Amino acid sequence: MKLFVKKSLAQLMATPEEGASTLKRTLGAGNLIALGIGAIIGAGLFVRTAAAAGAHAGPAVTLSFIIAAVGCAFAGLCYAEFASIIPIAGSAYTYAYATMGEIVAWIIGWALVLEYALGAATVSISWSEYANNLLGHRIPFEWCHSPMESAIINGVSHTGVINLPALLILLLLSLLLIKGTQESATVNTVIVVIKVTIVLVFIAIGWQFINPAHHTPYLIPANAPDATLPDGTKYSYLPFFNHGWGGVLTGAGIVFFAFIGFDAVSTAAQEAKNPKRDMPIGILGSLVVCTILYILFSWVLTGVAPYQDFMHAGKEASVAYAISQYMHHYEWLSTLVTVAILMGFSSVILVMLLGQSRVFYTMSTDGLLPKVFSDLHPKFRTPYKSNMILFVFVGLFAAFLPSSVAGDLTSIGTLFAFVLVCIGVMLLRRTNPELVRPFKTPLVPLVPILGILICSAMIISLPLETQLSALAWMIIGLIIYFTYSRGNSKLGNVSDVLPTASDFEKK
């Protein structure tokens, strides 16, 4: 079997028309934009903004968001072209199969597990933390933390047993996905409206509390005073990636996590009513809306509180800290922000689980994964067995491991996917220039090349341990490929006649 055997466009488009054995087409352009916003606005906006500003970019975190957004825009344009040509579930995995061959498709499909499954697990852990905060810490420490976490509360030592709230939200959203894609999209749209409204309220009220002095200097200078960490130690801004433009670039790599999700729209291509028109709208529309919100939010947050403050009051507490310390008489807004964060986390988990199940669905129909991942519910026509298996896999991670284990693996998996999609667009332009493209990426090859360069730069800026962990994950994936997938590939071991390009043209 050839490792680089490609799935022709004729074979891709020979997917059966809508019926009992295929996914149900129920999503319009509005649903797709809401799916994208639902996946994008979550942990990144409320947590990563303060982390990047406090440690690396300062007020210039707005520039970090712009750099990350530009990199995403280049990749998004490439995704949009692919999605309009190949309206099939599977996202970057499917595009790689058509342009670079099976082994590359497998690698990118395996990398997407880092983005979707690992991302869903990590966000569910954060959801648990915020839910407990909103409930006034009524859930005992043991039942909302992993066995690898411990803390001293009121002089008493506590060790986690299992993270039950994280399991609960994963179960509820998995059941919703099994019920149906349209139902899931409707719930997601409601969540999106609520959380975007709260973000806009914070921006509108916070704008009145901006202190121009907090935006000066805009970039962190090399001689900036050391920041004090929660444990009392000092944090130096002297290293290249902790100040100036180096800090802005590192900040872009950190806040890139906040943009993860728009590509998940492409995994729902097989469930879109008019994918050739609506997929580009959904992908690019959600990216534009979120970019504008991110820049405004980060400008207000760093204007309300000085960036050094986020070194001792960052992560989950950053926005609430800024409100309580600098926006007096608006403490109620802190509670609303917590609600928005919970809403954001919920929609992110929902779309991540949706995306992962659709990628596995497509890989299973190709024979690279067991058939159980592509079995559809007889009534709801959703990959219910895949959803149940993913609940167990993601739930084990969320219930028994701390979020710190994931690190930046989610970002690196996504960036890798973006790089390959940009390469794929250039390859498809060369191999199939005659294709009808409902949406065309402008300025090819300039746009894809810029996407490759910016995304690669953000990969390089991530910590070495993250890069090594991603490499280890890829090695595990290759072992699975050569021991199972290679021998079960329908395309690599096909014996009957497949549709040809001329057959496709006749259709």
pLDDT of res. 18: 47
8 A C-beta contact, residue 50 and residue 309? no
Computed over every residue of the chain, the mean pLDDT equals 82
SS3 295: helix
Q: Which two tokens stand for residue 486?
A: 């290679």
Better pLDDT: 46 or 169? 169
pLDDT band at 448 (very low <50, low <70, confident <90, very high): very high
Measured in degrees and rounded to the nearest 5, phi and psi for residue 36 equal -65, -45
445 cis-preceded (ω within 30 degrees of 0): yes
pLDDT of res. 151: 77
pLDDT of res. 494: 62
Domain chopping of the chain, boundaries: 31-478
pLDDT band at 507 (very low <50, low <70, confident <90, very high): very low
Q: Which two tokens stand for residue 151?
A: 């803390």
Q: State CA 75 to chain mean position distance.
A: 14
8 A C-beta contact, residue 31 and residue 234? no
The architecture of the domain spanning 31-478 is Up-down Bundle (1.20)
Count of residues in the chain: 507
8 A C-beta contact, residue 8 and residue 98? yes
Please check the confidence at residue 288 and state whether its pLDDT lies above 60. yes
Sequence-separated (6 or more) residues with CB below 8 Å from residue 297: 45, 49, 199, 202, 203
pLDDT band at 498 (very low <50, low <70, confident <90, very high): very low
d(CA 217, CA 98): 49
| C-alpha radius of gyration, the chain, whole number | 23
Burial track 60-73 (b if 16+ CB lie within 10 A, e otherwise):
bbbbbbbbbbebbb
pTM given for the model:
0.76
User: What is the residue type of 379?
Assistant: K
Measured in degrees and rounded to the nearest 5, phi and psi for residue 307 equal -60, -30
Q: Which of 146-155, 254-263, 375-384 has the lowest mean pLDDT?
A: 254-263
pLDDT of res. 168: 94
* Per-residue model confidence as pLDDT tens digits over 331-379: 888 888 888 788 888 888 888 898 888 888 888 988 899 999 888 888 8
Q: Which two tokens stand for residue 441?
A: 């990426």
According to DSSP, residue 354 is labeled H
8 A C-beta contact, residue 366 and residue 489? yes
Dihedral sign (CA 81, 87, 93, 98) = negative
d(CA 245, CA 243): 7
pLDDT band at 219 (very low <50, low <70, confident <90, very high): very high
Please check the confidence at residue 38 and state whether its pLDDT lies above 50. yes
pLDDT of res. 265: 76
pLDDT band at 209 (very low <50, low <70, confident <90, very high): very high
Please check the confidence at residue 5 and state whether its pLDDT lies above 50. yes
The full DSSP string for 388-457 is HHHHHHHHHHHHHS-GGGTTTHHHHHHHHHHHHHHHHHHHHHHH-TTS--SS--SSTTHHHHHHHHHHHH
Nearest to 286 by CA among 25, 39, 28, 27: 39
* Per-residue model confidence as pLDDT tens digits over 306-322: 998 888 775 556 788 88
Nearest to 257 by CA among 59, 3, 505, 64: 64
